[in-house]
């Protein structure tokens, strides 16, 4: 009893996702069924590592999560740290994991780590990876070297930064990568090894406005301009474009952006999956030099989906004028 009292406090919550899924009727596929307690039952080592506070905050496929729900999750996680938790772990589906991690990272004000994990195989499937990922997440959460790093994603014994991690495979076990930079570290025989020291973080205040929407469109060959022209008319507060190559659009899209960019914030990121947008290389109509002259922001290293999250939170906190300083080169 005394030994348990001396252990650090670790708060763990489940939002649902594949890590919580089990098979139902034959042919009906897997669905979220297991609460957080049931997930922890498969990792008995956790109770030897920490005093656990456990909660089931949802049983959703992660594609159905939304910003409002994530703000509620954030409030719960903040409350746990304020009540003395050494760290917080969230389990959820992998489909939107890269986005939810970045959303929470932009708002996470503590040195205490918030660690997110999930699974690529459902709990009822042979070789399911949920228990191993949850154990690794706990080892990362309790490691001293994890402090000051914000929100971390732990999958397949690798530790990823929320701003860089991406799901790059639909079904493979090794589905998560950090293109261009690689993972921050890894878990080796239960020990967390980081490749670099924690850097300085920027954190946004909680959004005061939440009813606004930011559109995300993808540039593609011979795309018409109808949806692009409709963005302002439909009431969107901002726009992100997943652009060609180093952040480019067609000449016809560029003409529309000439009228649109002065009326609302527009970001053009790259749809390629790796590498930054350019700033001073291409001068054709629709290239980055042309777009910046029209008031368009370049996404830099940030992928289009994360650009949308950043812009939504900046608008929500009334700081959209700071957008340029938040976009990593």
Write down the domain spans for the chain.
2-194, 214-326
Q: What's the pTM value of the predicted model, to 2 decimals?
A: 0.97
pLDDT attached to residue 328: 86
pLDDT tens digit string along 126-161?
Answer: 999 999 999 999 999 999 999 999 999 999 999 999
The mean pLDDT value for 316-322 works out to 97
Nearest to 139 by CA among 94, 100, 181, 194: 194
Task: For residue 70, give the H/E element and its range.
Answer: helix 67-82
CATH number for the domain whose boundaries are 214-326: 3.40.50.40
Q: What residues contact residue 323 under an 8 Å CB cut-off, 6+ apart?
A: 265, 267, 297, 310, 311, 314
* pLDDT of 54 strictly over 60: yes
pLDDT tens digit string along 97-111?
Answer: 999 999 999 999 999
- Rounded CA-CA distance 109/106 in Å is 8
Task: For residue 101, give the H/E element and its range.
Answer: helix 97-105
2-194 is classed in which CATH architecture?
A: 3-Layer(aba) Sandwich (3.40)
- Rounded CA-CA distance 49/150 in Å is 21
Q: How many other CB atoms sit within 10 Å of the CB of residue 210? A: 13
Topology alike, domains 2-194 and 214-326:
yes
pLDDT tens digit string along 59-81?
Answer: 999 999 999 999 999 999 999 99
- Rounded CA-CA distance 148/130 in Å is 26
State the residue for tokens 């390629």: 272
pLDDT tens digit string along 179-218?
Answer: 999 999 999 999 999 999 999 999 999 999 999 999 999 9
* pLDDT of 1 strictly over 80: no
Q: How many other CB atoms sit within 10 Å of the CB of residue 214? A: 23
pLDDT attached to residue 2: 58
């Amino acid at each position: 009893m005394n030994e348990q009292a001396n252990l650090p406090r670790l708060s763990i919550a489940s939002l649902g996702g594949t890590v919580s899924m089990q098979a139902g009727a034959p042919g009906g596929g897997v669905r979220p069924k297991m609460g957080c307690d049931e997930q922890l039952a498969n990792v008995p080592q956790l109770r030897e590592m920490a005093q656990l506070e456990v909660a089931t905050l949802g049983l959703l496929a992660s594609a159905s999560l939304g910003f409002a729900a994530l703000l509620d999750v954030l409030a719960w996680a903040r409350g746990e740290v304020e009540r003395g938790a050494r760290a917080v772990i969230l389990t959820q589906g992998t489909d939107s994991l890269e986005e939810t991690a970045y959303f929470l990272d932009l708002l996470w004000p503590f040195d205490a780590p918030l660690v997110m994990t999930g699974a690529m195989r459902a709990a009822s499937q042979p070789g399911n990876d949920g228990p191993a990922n949850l154990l690794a997440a706990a080892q990362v959460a309790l490691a001293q070297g994890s402090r000051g790093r914000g929100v971390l994603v732990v999958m397949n014994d690798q530790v990823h930064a929320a701003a860089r991690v991406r799901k790059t495979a639909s079904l493979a076990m090794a589905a998560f990568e950090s293109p261009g930079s690689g993972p921050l570290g890894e878990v080796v025989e239960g020990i967390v090894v980081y490749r670099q020291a924690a850097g300085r973080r920027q954190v946004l205040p909680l959004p005061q406005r939440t009813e606004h929407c930011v559109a995300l469109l993808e540039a593609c060959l011979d795309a018409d301009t109808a949806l692009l022209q409709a963005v302002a008319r439909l009431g969107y507060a901002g726009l992100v474009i997943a652009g060609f190559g180093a952040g480019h659009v067609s000449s016809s899209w560029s003409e529309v952006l000439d009228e649109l960019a002065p009326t609302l914030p527009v970001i053009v990121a790259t749809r390629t999956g790796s590498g930054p947008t350019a700033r001073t290389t291409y001068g054709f109509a629709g290239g980055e030099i042309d777009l910046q002259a029209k008031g368009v922001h370049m996404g830099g290293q940030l992928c289009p989906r994360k650009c949308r999250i950043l812009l939504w939170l900046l608008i929500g906190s009334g700081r959209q004028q700071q957008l340029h300083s938040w976009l990593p080169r």
